[in-house]
Amino acid sequence: MPPVTEAAARRALLRFVASRCCYGRSAAGELAIRRLRHLATYRYRLETFSESRLSEWVFEPFTKDCHRCHGHGRSKCGVCHGAGRTRCVTCKGSRWRRKQQSRCQLCSGTGRRRCNTCSGRGSKTCATCQGERKLQHFKQLVVTWKNNVFEFVSEHHLNFPGKLLSKVSGENIFKDENAVVYPIIDFPDPEISLASQRAIAEHSAAFATSSRILRQRQTIELIPITEVHYQYSGKPYLYYIYGLENKVYALDYPERCCCGCAIV
């Protein structure tokens, strides 16, 4: 990949500053770039496209008596247990209000009130047949397709949050796609080879027994990182440009009025 030039580095910083309400533009335009250090890191990704199937009983209102309500269309209320009334929450069923030494007015001195869940009927509409009393029974097959992704970014040993690299794209330098892929061996960065072995083992253990693996794909991307050393008002600073999108991370930008907008 062509390295980032001074002009591109300055443009990237100006875009970053323009997106931050509390960052001043003058520093970005007047700073003196002293050194560009071109670096890179690798991102490994394994994608496993799997299919899982589940058959289960499904019920719809029809001609057979509902097994839940036995064809009545209503089931016993679980709050009042079919009584239609529940204990008064004000007097707690004692019928008297202790502080006032008087009969509870909310329950008229009975100690019980009409159940709000079933409106005092003692039963509610059956949730299974929806009050129709009849059901048709059949087995339904549910097929689920899912793309399961494992991602790993190698260490870069910079003062730079690694989580930002998951938000940018890199140059694809390796792609392997088949019904089943095998671990990468002897990659120049040993972390990537180990990540490949771990990812394939994890996906095999997780999906081989509970679902069917239809396709696998593993890729390696080279993510560019440029460390920009610059000077402003006689003091040294630095910022990072990362990804093919030339995103910027500038934690110590010299011209800002607050500290809450450091990362793109």
- How far apart are alpha carbons 118 and 114 in whole angstroms? 9
Q: What is the mean pLDDT of residues 154-165?
A: 84
Q: Are residues 87 and 178 in the same domain?
A: no
pTM of the predicted protein model: 0.64
Q: Kindly report the average pLDDT of the chain as a whole number.
A: 84
pLDDT recorded at residue 263: 47
Q: Taking a C-beta distance cutoff of 8 angstroms, is the pair 135, 65 a contact?
A: yes
Identify the domain containing residue 80 by its residue range: 55-140
* Of 35 and 111, more confident: 35
**pLDDT value at position 238?**
92
- Domain final residue, candidates 95, 117, 140: 140
Residues 110 and 40 in one domain: no
pLDDT top residue among 133 and 219: 219
Distance separating alpha carbons of residues 12 and 19, to the nearest angstrom: 11
Is position 217 within any domain?
yes
Handedness of CA 94, 95, 99, 105 (dihedral sign): positive
Q: pLDDT tens digit string along 246-256?
A: 999 988 888 77
Is residue 264, in this structure, part of any structural domain at all?
A: no
> Is position 254 within any domain?
no
Q: Do 160 and 46 have their domain in common?
A: yes
pLDDT for 182 beyond 50: yes
Task: Verify that 134 and 158 share a domain, yes or no.
Answer: no
Return d(Cα 66, Cα 85) in angstroms, integer.
Answer: 26
Q: Is 54 exposed, middle or buried (0-12, 13-18, 19+ CB in 10 A)?
A: exposed
